[in-house]
Structure 1
Amino acid sequence: MLKLLKYDWKRNATMSLAGLIILLVAQIVNLTVGWRNGWNEQFVIVIACLLFFFSGFLVFLMACQTFGANLKAYSRRLLPLPTIYTIASPLVLMFGLSLVLFLVFAAFDAVFAAMYDKEASFLSLLAEQLTFGEAALAIALAIWGSLFTSLVIFFSMAFSRIVEGKGGTFLGIIVCILIFVTVPWVEDILFSPEQIYGLIRLSPLESGNGSMTLTFGSANSLEWLTLAFEAGVLICLIYGTIFLIERRIKL
């Protein structure tokens, strides 16, 4: 596993470091120019968030490209290592780089609060509003969503290798869309769709003026049956991808 991860990192190190440097320079320019020219604080935050979201998307795209390159590399399949490492290595790389992005965001948040004379940074204010359990639940759900989405993409990419040429690409896209559409549809049929957002149950509270607020709970608000169903789908995706890599993929 470590050898594969090291191999994948070497292949993506130059692009990753270049992207990190570009992100740092862009955020520094955004902060300094915005502060010197008296830009609106919200405008500076919007630009920063767009840069972070775009960087996160590039990290996800890099993981998918790494997995696709590993599928095409015949030498990788000859290594006496479990096939699941081919799936796990891009995921570990993706989550590792995502952690780096979060650290950069935390640094930006602290510098922004200091430059604009804020009493507290955004993360510190968020930490005051959320309990430890709620924060851990939010992080776990973000990781779960990223993992599930990545495995759907990986399975579709492996499935597309059954057929050569553009037909395989089209087949992979169709399979990917079907999975993303079918899973929520089955969840709506099997489980109550009311007051549920993903794996979380939200409690709507209507006030007298017609407005409505949503209360976000802790682990007790989890829809465990939905979580168990998606865990089953996730396991099927893993074993399906392994089967396709070992038996069905055309090199």
Structure 2
Amino acid sequence: MMKLLKYDFKRNTSRLLGVMAVLILVQVSIMLFIENNMLLTWLTIFAYIIAGVFLFITPIRTFSYNLKAYHRKLLPVHTLKSILSPIVMGGGCLLILGFVAAIHGYVYLSAFGHIEIIMDQIRMYPLDTIMTLFSVFWMIIHVLITIFLAITIAASIRRKGSFWIGIVSFFLIVNGLTWIESKFFGEYNGGLIRIFSVEFDNAASGMSTNTDFNSMYFSGNSIGMFIFELICSIAFLYIMVKLIDRKVEV
């Protein structure tokens, strides 16, 4: 799979470098010309979100191109590797972006003396911090696999309107999974966002809390939801392999 990954990176090098270059220029411009701290913070976050969206779209475009590329079908590699290669590429790029954003945030908060507030919460809830980061990353991978399945379904249908069939398939799958999760596992109620919300609300009202947030991710519902999504993702990969192989044989 390393050769496929190298090929996908090489094909998207100009796009990836362009996103990073524009992000750097935007961030430097924000720091030089924006004096309002609140506006600076929101523009900085918004710039990273836009960059993340571009990096998220890149593996989707790559997978769609690979499905249509005739030379890709002739490569003597397992179909699963062709599916996983864009996912690994996209996940790796988003991890690098997240790492850069974390360093930027640390430097920014340190300069304004707010870093200790964040570090105190991380030290108080280390497991929740780790699981929140893992949950965000897993959500991205799970959504990518779901989008890839919808693209594969659309590509396997050789008739007009296949594009819209793919879009409808995606929303049906997402809504179906969401409905099943809500019925069997309930709603999500953990994460750092909820921790900060509760902590700041209690601070504002002068109350203290001893809530054990670290146990939220290890509840039966959270573990069950993750196992369910993992099984669905494996099933989606299996379906994609079968659809792509059938298309090649035809």
TM-score (norm 1): 0.83
- The 4+ residue runs of structure 1 with deviation greater than 6 A are 202-207
Matched residues in 2 for 1:104 and 1:165: separation?
44
- The residue that corresponds to 2:21 in the other structure is 21
Deviations 1:33-81 (A, max 9, x none): 11xxxx3211101101111011101111011000001111121121111
Question: Over aligned residues, Cα RMSD in angstroms?
Answer: 2.9
**Could you tell me whether the CA contact under 8 Å between 2:127 and 2:214 is conserved in 1?**
no
Matched residues in 1 for 2:66 and 2:74: separation?
11
| Aligned residue runs from structure 1 range 13-52, under 5 A | 13-34=13-34, 39-52=35-48
What displacement does 1:25 show?
Answer: 0.6
- Change in Cα spacing, 1:249 to 1:47, as seen in structure 2 (3 Å) is farther
- The residue that corresponds to 1:242 in the other structure is 241
Matched residues in 2 for 1:13 and 1:64: separation?
15
Q: Which protein has the bigger helix share?
A: 2
| Aligned residue runs from structure 1 range 24-173, under 5 A | 24-34=24-34, 39-113=35-109, 117-121=111-115, 125-130=117-122, 131-164=125-158, 166-173=160-167
Q: Percent of aligned positions with the same letter in both sequences?
A: 27
- Change in Cα spacing, 1:137 to 1:107, as seen in structure 2 (3 Å) is closer
**Could you tell me whether the CA contact under 8 Å between 1:64 and 1:154 is conserved in 2?**
yes
Aligned residues: 236
What displacement does 1:183 show?
Answer: 0.5
Q: Which protein has the bigger strand share?
A: 1
Deviations 1:109-136 (A, max 9, x none): 244346xx41244xx6433312332221
Amino acid corresponding to residue 188 of structure 2 in structure 1: Y
User: Structure 1 stretches of 5 or more lacking a match?
Assistant: none
SS of residue paired to 2:229: helix
Amino acid corresponding to residue 137 of structure 2 in structure 1: I
TM-score (norm 2): 0.84
User: Structure 2 stretches of 5 or more lacking a match?
Assistant: none
- Change in Cα spacing, 1:199 to 1:42, as seen in structure 2 (3 Å) is closer
What displacement does 1:28 show?
Answer: 0.5
